Structures are given as structure tokens and as C-alpha cells.
Amino acid sequence: MNDAYDLYSEMVAKKVFPNVVTYNTLIYGFCIAGQLKEAVGLFNEMILKNTNPDVYTFNILVDGLCKEGEMRKAKNVLAVMIKQGVKPNIVTYNSLMHGYFLVKKVNMAKYVFNAIARTGVKPDLQSYSIMINGLCKNKMVDEAVNLFKEMHLKNMAPNTVTYSSLIDGLCKSGRIYDVWDFMDEMHYRGQPADIITYSSLLDALCKNGDVDKAIELLKKIKDKGIQPNMCTYTILVDGLCKNGRLKDAQKVYQDLLINGYHLDVRMYNVMVNGMCKEGLLDEALSILSKMEENSCTPNAVTYEPLIHALFRNGKNDKAIKLVREMIARGLL
């Protein structure tokens, strides 16, 4: 980005004045680099030099500010946009909705969505996907389902992202039985569920105590040629541990090690916690050592259940040793 700005400075020094495309490219570069102050500064400079921003300029800046949760500044840019006679389009409104959800201003996101129609702009697939995802993340699943139905009425085909957001929301609300209908619909529409969608469903089944169904689902996922990721396996192992199926959890964990998977800290933490809850402290300490051998650094979540369990079982020396380790690692 520095090279691009140096080139811009050189152009100005040589009295070669940048046009709107040059400014747009630089503002976009600053935005994706998270240098919003520089992006806004360049935008202001552009106006001072009588280079009129176009809809792309405003959209780039509004989007950059919204992604950083700078909604007041985004609104100010929108006000300048309207004052300059540049009409906001669906890209502008989508950025605003996304930004409002990001800062937990759900009512403002809903207000923008409802206001779109009054401006003569039609909501697109992205608009509905942003709304459905945001509503689901805020546990407003019924409203998300209604918007999904509205899409159908408008003959707007949801994509995998839309389905995944809705399915995740239903899963987190414990509405597993509703999920199967959407999964069937995805298949019917030729948009098969991806590993993110399946992981949400797996998590819901585990939290509902249906671990056998979760194991069966994992097998089906593999049979479909979809490769589970570490997050998927961690969800299953955690579910098994929390449903009193530690031996099954150990089997999955061991299979992953044998098959050469690089386990992450979350998987190790789930196993350490599971062992501690069953009083298998030597096994939990062994997993801690295994982490080190496999170049996975323990975090505070790894140590806490172990230290508590060791103190509870009168193994104070071992507990104190781990506390010292935490201090040495800067975790306390």
C-alpha cells in the first residue's frame, strides 16, 4: 500500500492529477489494509481537489467503515453521498445492514432493510442473506424464517450461505426437526450442504444428547465425499465427552492422531476437560505432554480444569507446578 501511495504522491508532485479511478483504487487499498484514517483523508483530499467521487468511491468507503463498526462515520459519508447527488444503491445499503449487525444494532439493520423499498431499490440475494444471518445470530429465528419465505415468494433462490445461516440459527435454537426440511430443500435445489452446515447440525445433535445420531451423521458426511475438518471432529468429541461417552471420544481422538491429523488447541482442551471430569488425571497430564510434543501450545483453558482437578484430589505439588508453568507462559 505504501508503494501505491508513493506513486500517487509522485503523480501529484509532477502535476499529473489522479482521476476518480485512481482515487477509488487507493481508497479501496487503504480500506482492505484497515487504514481507514488514510482512506478518509484521501477521500477528503479528492473532494478538495474537485474530483467528484462516484458511487463506487462512496460504496468502498461506506463498506470499509461498516466492516470496522464505524457506523457514525459511515452515516456521515452517506450524508455527503446524498448531498453530492450520488444515489445510494443496494451495495451501499447492504454494507450498512452488515455494519449495524456487527455493532449489535439490530433495529437499525431492520430499519435500513425496510427503508430500501421506499427508495426504489430492490433488495438482492445478498440483502436477504445479511438479514437472515444477522437475525439468526441475534436469536430472532422466526423473523429469519419469515424473510426466507419472502425470498421464495419473490422467486429469489437462496444460496448455500443463506441456507447455512438459517440452519445454524435453527440448530442453535434447538429446532433440529425444522432443519431436516431445509437440508432436503438444499439437496432438491442442487445446493448440497457444506461442512459448515453439517457442523452446525452435528453441534445441535450433540447438545440435544443425540450423540448416536451425530456419529451416524458424520459417517454420512464422509460417504458423501465431504471431508470433516478439525472443528467438526472437535464438536463430536466434545459432545461425546459431555454425554458420558468418554471412551468413544478417546477412540475418535486416537484415530485422528493415528491418521496424522494436526490437532488444534481446542481439540486438546476438550480431551483434557473430559479426562478431568472423569477423574483420569494421569491421562489428562499425558495429553498435556502430547500437546507439547506435537508443537501445540497450551492456553489458559487447557490448564484451568487440570489445576482445579489436581487440587481437588490432593495433588497439590502437581497443581502448583502447573500454576508456575502458566506464569512462565504469561497466562496468569
pLDDT at 10 over 80: no
CATH number at residue 75: 1.25.40.10
Structural domain contains residue 163? no
Among 103, 126, 150, give the residue marking a domain's end.
103
Structural domain contains residue 253? no
**DSSP for 180-234, written as a single string:** HHHHHHHHHTT----HHHHHHHHHHHHHTT-HHHHHHHHHHHHHTT----HHHHH
pLDDT at 1: 53
DSSP state for residue 122 in the 8-state scheme: P
pLDDT at 4 over 70: no
- Asked which of 22-26, 161-165, 285-289 is least confident by mean pLDDT, the reply is 22-26
Among 48, 83, 103, give the residue marking a domain's end.
103
- Asked which of 78-92, 189-203, 235-249, 266-280 is least confident by mean pLDDT, the reply is 189-203
Structural domain contains residue 301? yes
pLDDT at 166 over 80: yes
pLDDT at 14: 60
Among 63, 84, 103, give the residue marking a domain's end.
103
**Boundaries of domain holding 324:** 262-332
**% of the chain exceeding 70 in pLDDT:** 95
Structural domain contains residue 302? yes
Interval 228-268: pLDDT, tens: 999 999 999 999 999 999 999 999 999 999 998 999 999 99
Total of domains in the chain: 2
Structural domain contains residue 65? yes
Give 35's pLDDT tier (boundaries 50, 70, 90): confident
Structural domain contains residue 5? yes
Mean pLDDT computed over 82-89: 93
Helix axes 316-328, 300-312, angle to 10 degrees: 160
